[in-house]
Homo-oligomer: A and B are copies of this chain.
Amino acid sequence: MRKILIIGAGKSTSYLIKYLLDKSVSEELHIIVGDISIQNAKKLIGNHENAQAIMLDVFNKQSRQSAIENSDIVISMLPARYHIEVAKDCVSYGKNMVTASYVSPEMEDLDVAVKNKGLVFMNEIGVDPGIDHMSAMKEIDAIRAKGGKMILFESFTGGLVAPESDNNLWNYKFTWNPRNVVVAGQGGAAKFIQEGTYKYIPYNRLFRRTEFLDVEGFGRFEAYANRDSLKYQSVYGLDNVKTLYRGTMRRVGFSRAWNMFVQLGMTDDSYTIDDSENMSYRDFVNAFLPYSPTDSVELKFRYQLKIEQDDLMWDKVLELDIFNPNKMVELKKATPAEILQKILMDSWTLQEDDKDMIVMYHKFGYELNGEKHQIDSTMVTIGEDQTYTAMAKTVGLPVAIAALAILNGKITTPGVQIPITAEVYEPILKELEAYDIKFNLYDVPYLGYNPLNI
């Protein structure tokens, strides 16, 4: 039996563990799931004979090292900042490693040591990053193989609520870390390239500079720009591309309404509010509005934001019960973002039978034989329930498939890497199709942003 050590049994590991357990007999696998809570680990493996749950505190050097030493490959599903200690041990004991997280500078620094030992450290092999890399590079490589020259690449992902569970005015629920949603876009201007020109969008305009995306069978979405559109420009070999844009997908109307919170300063995470514990939701909103004892918080809110009372945006605000004087914040010394997150979690938490949805949309523009072409590529995955979510599926399956492929010697190129080579993406994307994670490709007219060539 080959031993696979999975460290961390959080939300995104259900499919990962299920996949490996399902293969454990045919592939002769023994799955060891280590978590700080052994109950978490036990819940996900049930009574499976090829699996074992262990208590593993990643900060306990001895238990961490002995677990790693005793495995054939290590999958770290810990929060990204905890990978590095695991990674260093994997180098020491000569174990391959897989994570779904962004490559940190510390991880990157291990590259030479990893190569010297002939190890494979595969990172960014979840959904975003992960499936986005693989599905994009497959098309980009195919376009290049037929002699095409890439001129445009746009890529969008959204973690959303499935249509059958979409029952609020925002068409949104938290399907992943709510905090990331509340602070999304903060920390600097979004930067991207359109038709060879750098464009910059400050945070306070980000949610008003959206674009629409239509996905067959799922209707219309909108996308706002990610801060880091240029992050993979060189990695993808797109240094001479004219348009490069990455964004986050929401249902149409979300961003315009979200912008209300941005404008008033309610998403700010840079300072704490002294007496937040004893504030009501209404007090919280009022802290961002001018003092005026003769006017209601509601009217001040609408006036500041110039919203009519029959605007759907106003219904969205009311739906959150944000003007309630009796609901208390109850968080000590919280930032505005933390308080807003709490208020939103009242309304946007997935209910027991709610399903989530992952949507991805790529646009590939290229020139071939003097003509411009475009391929659009879309993928939608819907979750089964609250354990087997679309997020857990699209994050966990690529991780699991990659781990098994590395164990079986099908992925061998050593180094700290991300899944952008055919050796990696070909087999994984192929197998993902069997799990209904597949991309629909559409040949569409190339328009770009300057169709009239002005």
Task: Convert A261-275 into 0s and 1s, putting 1 for each residue whose CB lies closer than 8 angstroms to a CB of B.
Answer: 011110010110111
- Assembly CA distance A205 to B188 (angstroms): 17
| A289 cross-chain contacts in B, Cβ below 8 A | 199
- Assembly CA distance A263 to B206 (angstroms): 10
Q: A189-B271, A202-B268 are in contact. Are A291 and B454 (CB under 8 A)?
A: no
A36 within 8 A of B: no
- Assembly CA distance A204 to B371 (angstroms): 44
| A326 cross-chain contacts in B, Cβ below 8 A | none
- Assembly CA distance A454 to B452 (angstroms): 61
Min CB distance, A151 to chain B, in Å?
A: 14
Task: Convert A440-454 into 0s and 1s, putting 1 for each residue whose CB lies closer than 8 angstroms to a CB of B.
Answer: 000000000110101
Decide if B268 touches A199 in the complex (CB within 8 Å).
no
Decide if B291 touches A195 in the complex (CB within 8 Å).
yes
Q: How many residues in A have their beta carbons less than 8 Å from beta carbons of B?
A: 40
Decide if A205 touches B286 in the complex (CB within 8 Å).
no
- Assembly CA distance A40 to B205 (angstroms): 46
A163 within 8 A of B: no
| A198 cross-chain contacts in B, Cβ below 8 A | 273-275, 287
- Assembly CA distance A189 to B266 (angstroms): 10
Considering only CB atoms, which chain B residue lies closest to A306 in the complex? B306
Decide if A200 touches B263 in the complex (CB within 8 Å).
no
| A450 cross-chain contacts in B, Cβ below 8 A | 291, 293
Decide if A449 touches B273 in the complex (CB within 8 Å).
no
Task: Convert A284-318 into 0s and 1s, putting 1 for each residue whose CB lies closer than 8 angstroms to a CB of B.
Answer: 00111111111000000000100000000000000
Min CB distance, A224 to chain B, in Å?
A: 13
Q: A286-B197, A336-B200 are in contact. Are A449 and B274 (CB under 8 A)?
A: no
Q: A199-B290, A336-B200 are in contact. Are A189 and B454 (CB under 8 A)?
A: no
Min CB distance, A454 to chain B, in Å?
A: 4
- Assembly CA distance A263 to B204 (angstroms): 7
A201 within 8 A of B: yes
A265 interface neighbour in B205, B273, B449, Cβ under 8 Å: B205
Decide if B200 touches A293 in the complex (CB within 8 Å).
no
Decide if B202 touches A294 in the complex (CB within 8 Å).
no
A209 interface neighbour in B195, B262, B290, Cβ under 8 Å: B290
A280 within 8 A of B: no
Q: A265-B201, A288-B200 are in contact. Are A452 and B293 (CB under 8 A)?
A: yes
Decide if A454 touches B294 in the complex (CB within 8 Å).
yes
| A209 cross-chain contacts in B, Cβ below 8 A | 290
- Assembly CA distance A452 to B293 (angstroms): 8
- Assembly CA distance A262 to B205 (angstroms): 10
Decide if B268 touches A189 in the complex (CB within 8 Å).
yes
A291 interface neighbour in B202, B203, B262, B449, Cβ under 8 Å: B449
Chain A residues close to B by CB (< 8 Å)? 188-189, 191, 194-195, 197-205, 209, 262-265, 268, 270-271, 273-275, 286-294, 304, 336, 449-450, 452, 454
Sample of 9 more A-B contacts, CB < 8 Å, known A197-B287, A199-B290: A189-B265, A198-B287, A199-B288, A199-B289, A200-B288, A204-B265, A205-B265, A291-B449, A293-B450
